[in-house]
Amino acid sequence: MTSMLQIIELPAVASTNSELKDRSANQNLANWTVLSAKSQSAGRGQAGNTWETEPDKNIICSIFFRPHNIAADKQFILSKAIAVGIVRYLDSVGIAATIKWPNDIYVGSKKICGILIENTLIGNKINTSIAGIGLNLNQSVFSDRLPNPTSVKLETDQSFDRVKETEKLALSVQKSISTLSENSYEIINSDYHNLLYKKGILSLFKAKDHLFQGTIISVSDTGPITIVDETTKESQQFYFKEVEFCIGSE
Ligand code: BTN
């Protein structure tokens, strides 16, 4: 049985992740509390980046939950499950999206959604998880600073109700996470690899200052990606930031 979502809607926050983190530190938050905001002034992204979002246009939310029995070194399985849940939600609005390792959701070669997951640990287990999701919904004009943004509106030519869609998205993420606790990680891993951006497709990558052609094979539950180098035929594991896609040049 999965529990009901407890959705909190706020007009404005600095960051839904930070707000939810503060609340979880100060009170006993109900499992599956979702904090959603109309606008966010200091949205945080991966690797210390900021996340910009036009007020009242997009899904900006953070989902608090207590995972069942997930080892600290397998934290990335949560990222896989969350990403699969987001792709399933996008499928329900008619968008075929893929998961770009490590943490982005793409439509073609454009980014539609970013994810920032922050976990706390007790011993070698995950205690709480906050899954922050910024999903471009009704925004159709983006800053020139962003390399390749898209939105549900740009992809489908339709506008959606932000609050209703936030709930649908959170439910889809919850459903995907519950697959993890009831079974092994096999279902999520198979879904994740089917949805993985550029998996099995020869692509151009950059590692340190070296450009190479390679093919993604898999992503482990601990996070690194395995890529086979086309020239040397050797497979190599890369951790976050050790390799990047050369998008648009492949
Ligand atoms: C990224 O692509 O770099 C991740 C972006 C994550 C943005 C979301 S918006 C809701 C939540 N609150 C934050 O401060 N960040 C996440």
Give per-residue pLDDT as tens, 139-150: 999 999 998 999
pTM of the predicted structure, to 2 decimals: 0.96
Q: For ligand 1, what atom is nearest to the CA of residue 46?
A: 3
CA-atom Rg of the chain in angstroms: 18
Residue 200 has pLDDT above 90, yes or no: yes
Measured by CA distance, the residue closest to atom 2 of ligand 1 is 114
* Cα 47 to middle of ligand 1, angstroms: 11
Ligand 1 binding pocket includes 58 (Cβ within 6 Å): no
What is the DSSP code (8-state) at residue 29?
A: P
* Cα 54 to middle of ligand 1, angstroms: 13
Ligand 1 binding pocket includes 148 (Cβ within 6 Å): no
Place of tokens 């590692």: 207
Give per-residue pLDDT as tens, 203-230: 999 999 899 999 999 999 999 999 999 9
Give per-residue pLDDT as tens, 71-84: 999 999 999 999 99
Residue type, 113: C
Give per-residue pLDDT as tens, 24-56: 999 999 999 999 999 999 999 998 899 999 999
Ligand 1 binding pocket includes 44 (Cβ within 6 Å): yes
Please tell me whether the peptide bond between 224 and the residue prior to it is cis, using omega within 30 degrees of 0: no
Q: For ligand 1, what atom is nearest to the CA of residue 37?
A: 10
What is the DSSP code (8-state) at residue 196?
A: B
**Strand bridging mode 33-40 / 6-13:** parallel
The pLDDT of residue 250: 40
Residue 249 has pLDDT above 60, yes or no: no
Give me the DSSP letters along 147-184: SSB--HHHHHS----HHHHHHHHHHHHHHHHHHHHHS-
